[in-house]
Structure 1
Amino acid sequence: MRVVSLVPSLTEAVAVTVPGVLVGATDWCSHPVDLDVTRVGGTKNPDVPRIIALAPDLVIANEEENRAPDLAELRAAGIEVLLTEVRTLDQAFRELRRVLAACGAGRPRWLEEAEAVWWDPPCPSVRLRAAVPIWRRPWMVLGRDTFAGDLLARMGVDNAYAAHTERYPRVPVEELRAAELDLVVLPDEPYRFTREDGPEAFSTRTPVALVSGRHLTWYGPSLVEAPAVLSAALRAACR
């Protein structure tokens, strides 16, 4: 079977579970680190002719990460496209099982381990209210119905903008500073927040947690480590 993945999370899941099946992936598919396949551009601007030339049996896509016109062009060329939707952890587990089955795989051990560790993830003693910026210039945060927001909620961190009408609203930093937050969570993707770029925008009275974007936003083998990695970052920020 020949598969092209346009979703970094699912690229890792397929590559780890069914080695040799992937023939193409995006430039943003950084895991596994030794992945050796044809690169087909970005998630938002894939090289459709190059994908067609690879003659894949299946292209894996996601309704949020990939553009409908690109997927329509692939379908018009006679290529099967498996479109996923992931806005909660439960959805992620369902879609992972569906994708791996479509690639000829059963239920891998890492997926069983991920489901087990997320059954009862570590949580703080009291729930925290947080904002989760994902971009700067302009500032954007997690809003409603997001996978990352669901993960944090399961770990006792409530998204202050979970009821917003938009999924990724633009929020002026002045509003974030005045929001009476218990915590600000800064992932290192899609915007690469660092100790020198991000925390200085907020009051020293508001704890800031710098977290791994891969463990917060990816759904794949990283889910096994995610509860421990995220919990450690949250604890460090709230000391």
Structure 2
Amino acid sequence: MIQFSQAHRVESLHLQKTPKRVLSLVPSMTETLFEFDVEPVGRTSFCIEPSAKVGSVPVVGGTKSPSVGKIFALKPDLVIANLEENRKEDIDCLEEHCNVWVSFPCTLNETLQMLCEMTQLSPKETQARLLVQACEKSLQQKGTVGSVVSFAVAIWKNPWMFAGKNTYISNLISSCGGSNVVMQERYPEIDIETLQFRMPDIVFLPSEPYAFDVEDQRQLSDLLQVSKDRIVLIGGEDLTWPGLRLIQARKAIKEIFSRISETI
């Protein structure tokens, strides 16, 4: 028997045998499945990584608009969902007919637990566990910057929204020696005047969920009246996709912190 912790209820999901037909509604977990040598039988249109492999996997709709009919037609043994990325009504509907594992990792420890549970799906479980151990080893390495770097992470504009406490994004960057100036929970709206008052050393502009670009970088630099070097464009997947990519994400963040610490 294998089991998976559920984010939406106390009881875990218990399965008598390892699922062979896994369908993923979560982009980051689709990527991790492939890393663990598991090819899902279905995915969402937002499950775009690994780009060289996902093309052959049937698309069942978006993360917020999956086709229940298409999912049922694929006869999955297990559907992987996320409490925030997928809608409650879709999860409830699927649970009436399928085994559904609902994840919601907000911390790095929760991410490691999720990865450990995912290794149960791998036909090469020993190798999969080695990949998770590499993540654990990465997290034992602290930030390389001597002083703490204050930061903010924009996730939307018009209105401006930022990643606050109790988010994977904030926990990931904090593990590299950062301190989030946004103290509210989840993803609050914050006006530019408030951000300017808190004045972080660095503002990250990830490529998702909002596709920030160089024009946004220039605009925010002007609004905050700071050097453009302190407004950093970064791949959104690294910041927002909990999974094995946390290793490369932490490496990139620490390099940015080292560079910015020379100018602040």
TM-score by length of 2: 0.83
- 1: CA distance, partners of 2:214 / 2:80: 35
Query: 2:57 aligned to 10, 33, 37, which one?
Result: 37
CA deviations 1:36-75 (Å, max 9, x no partner) are 2011111111111111111100000111111111011111
Partner of 1:55: 75
What is the alpha-carbon distance in structure 2 between the residues aligned to residue 69 and residue 97 of structure 1? 28
Post-superposition Cα deviations, 1:174-205, rounded to whole Å, max 9, x if no partner, equal 32223222221221111122222234223224
Question: How many Å separate the matches in 2 of 1:226 and 1:181?
Answer: 20
Residues 233, 199 of structure 1: alpha-carbon distance in 2 compared, 3 angstrom cutoff: farther
Deviating more after overlay: 180-189 vs 95-104: 95-104
Match of 1:203 among 225, 247, 258: 225
1:196 alignment partner, SS class: helix
The one-letter code of the counterpart of 1:221 is: L
**Counterpart-to-counterpart distance in 1, 2:70 and 2:161:** 33
Measured on the aligned residues, the alpha-carbon RMSD in Å equals 1.8
Give the secondary structure class of the aligned counterpart of 2:193.
Answer: helix
Percent identity, aligned pairs only? 34
One-letter amino acid of the counterpart of residue 161, structure 1: V
Q: State yes or no: 1:23 paired with 2:45.
A: no
Secondary structure of the 1:59 match is: strand
CA distance in 2, matches of 1:225, 1:42: 27
Q: Structure 1 19/88 Cα, relative in aligned 2: closer, same or farther at 3 Å?
A: same
Contact kept in structure 2, 1:216 and 1:230, CA below 8 Å:
no
Question: 1:209 and 1:123 mapped to 2: Cα distance?
Answer: 18
Which stretch shifts more, 99-108 or 125-134?
99-108
- Equivalence for 1:91: 110
Task: Give, in whole Å, the separation in 2 of the partners of 1:179 and 1:16.
Answer: 40
Aligned counterpart, 1:169: 188
Looking at structure 2, the residues matched to 237 and 188 of structure 1 have their Cα atoms a distance apart, in angstroms, of: 20
Alignment partner of 1:86: what SS? coil
- What is the rounded CA distance, in whole Å, between the counterparts of 2:102 and 2:248 in structure 1? 26
| Worse-superposed segment, 229-238 or 36-45 | 229-238
Q: CA deviation at 1:236?
A: 3.7
Structure 1's unaligned 5+ residue stretches are: none
Residue 224 of structure 1: how far off its partner (Å): 2.5
Query: What residue in structure 2 maps to residue 158 of structure 1?
Result: 179
1:146 to partner: Cα distance: 0.3
Give the letter for the 2:43 counterpart: A
Distance 1:95 1:221 in 2: 11
Q: Secondary structure of the residue that 1:132 maps to in structure 2?
A: strand
Alpha-carbon spacing, 1:205–1:61, altered in 2? closer, same or farther (3 Å): same
Partner residue, 2:4: none
Q: CA deviation at 1:105?
A: 5.3
Paired residue secondary structure (1:18)? coil
Which moved further from structure 2: 108-117 or 95-104? 95-104
Unaligned runs of 5+ in 2: 1-19
Aligned residues: 235
Q: Tell me the amino acid that sits aligned with residue 25 of structure 1.
A: R
C-alpha distance in 1 between matches for 2:192 and 2:60:
36
Verify the 8 A CA contact 2:80 2:102 in the aligned structure 1: yes
**Once superposed, which parts of structure 1, at least 4 consecutive aligned residues long, lie more than 4 Å away?**
102-105
Q: Which residue of 2 aligns with 1:227?
A: 250
